[in-house]
Amino acid sequence: MPKIKEPTLLLNTDICKRNIRSMNNRVKQWGGYFRPHFKTHQSAQIGEWYKSEGVESITVSSFKMARYFALNGWNDITVALTATILNVDIINDLASKINLNILVEDNATIYALEAALDHPVGVFIKADTGYHRTGIDVSDLSVVKFVLNELKDKKKLIFIGFLTHAGNTYKCKKESEIIEITQNSLNKFLSLKAFLKDDFPLMQLSWGDTPSCSVFDNFYGVDEFRPGNFVFYDYMQSLIGSCMLTDIAVCLAAPVLAVHPVRNEMVMHAGAVHLSKDFVVLEDGTKSYGKAIRISNGKWDVDTVIGEVTSLSQEHGVISLKQNYYSDLNPGDVIGILPVHSCLTANLMKEFLTEDGNLISMME
């Protein structure tokens, strides 16, 4: 293990591989197809661990990411970001090489893409089942039909089905809330199949989000599952109820810069450019940008809590030490931070250091 001198994102490969195996098994038990989202790790090497579990198809959040994974041997990719006519060149390029699926949600784009594409691509209609970020509201069946009518006879855009992301589960605070939101969204989503089964008997339903896939078990009727964050989980997911702290596979190692016993604080070298400014609000009202714990020789222990990261500037973070905490930690020591949102932290750090001292790289 190399000596850590600057903010470094540690990856516990055992936990990570266990998370992959566990989610793969869950999806198998439901009889579903696993198309994990790769936006969290963005790493060809971590992608190989999915291949070892038999995974052949993936989801990404941008065309740039699709290109990266296509270059790294993945030939069945869904880009889960609504496509527009601006993406024609890269769609044509990717669709000539791999099985590419895209997302649409408006008739003008469908019309324009059909005219501009050289190669056929699979198409999902983005469905809004309650998150209200993007997609067609599935309760409005007249709009669903209006878009399907535009799409159904196209030669380049091959209708596959509907795709939803019940991202409102991210606002949950416990398992029972996740289950309630999931059931509501799912009911809306499944009604699409009932409504359209005569005209589109092969239509697929694709489902996303880590919280629901981690705790819900009754997905009968859904064909495909696209969770992503579960590969690392994070502090936020542990508070939502998706995982335990011991399921978190990444931890930011950060040097201590100063200790301020008078105000019960510690300052570390790790800020918004390492962790991101995403935060959670704890039960007692504390706004936390990460949970500070001890690490030793690149290994962390979630039971050795130091405190919460209560403020972040560009390169600095302030840790409010837990009550009556006595510290033997000094400037130059290295502590660990369980990140609030592992997707954003990984995206900033761009590489992982494993317990064996190996560096795992991500997409540039």
Q: Applying CB under 8 A, which residues contact a second copy?
A: 3-6, 39, 61-64, 81-82, 84-87, 89-90, 105-106, 108-109, 112, 132-135, 167, 255-259, 263, 267, 269, 272-273, 276-278, 311, 313-316, 318, 330-332, 334, 343-344, 347-348
User: In the complex with a second copy, which residue's Cβ is closer, 148 or 256?
Assistant: 256
**Residue 109 CB, nearest distance to a second copy (Å)?**
5
User: In the complex with a second copy, which residue's Cβ is closer, 251 or 302?
Assistant: 251
**Residue 86 CB, nearest distance to a second copy (Å)?**
4
Q: What angle do CA 137, 188, 106 make, to 5 degrees?
A: 25
Q: Which residue in the block uniquely carries the two structure tokens 């981690």?
A: 214
Residue type, 113: L
**Residue 20 CB, nearest distance to a second copy (Å)?**
20
Chain Cα centroid distance, residue 279: 16
**Residue 218 CB, nearest distance to a second copy (Å)?**
26
Half-sphere CA count of 148, side-chain side, radius 13 A? 17
Taking alpha carbons only, the member of 300, 302, 280 closest to residue 290 is 280
User: In the complex with a second copy, which residue's Cβ is closer, 95 or 259?
Assistant: 259
**Residue 125 CB, nearest distance to a second copy (Å)?**
12
26 phi and psi angles, rounded to 5 deg: -60, -50
User: In the complex with a second copy, which residue's Cβ is closer, 13 or 134?
Assistant: 134
Whole-number Å distance between alpha carbons of 172 and 6:
34
How is residue 340 annotated by DSSP? S
Whole-number Å distance between alpha carbons of 361 and 364:
8
User: Furthest-apart CA pair in the chain: how many Å?
Assistant: 71
How is residue 247 annotated by DSSP? G
Residues 327-338 as b/e (b if ≥16 CB within 10 A, e otherwise) read bebeeebbbbbb
**Residue 258 CB, nearest distance to a second copy (Å)?**
5
User: In the complex with a second copy, which residue's Cβ is closer, 105 or 223?
Assistant: 105
Beta bridge partners of 104: 125
User: In the complex with a second copy, which residue's Cβ is closer, 196 or 267?
Assistant: 267
User: In the complex with a second copy, which residue's Cβ is closer, 75 or 134?
Assistant: 134
**Residue 284 CB, nearest distance to a second copy (Å)?**
21
Residues 274-299 as b/e (b if ≥16 CB within 10 A, e otherwise) read bbbebbbeeeeeeebbbbbbbbeebe
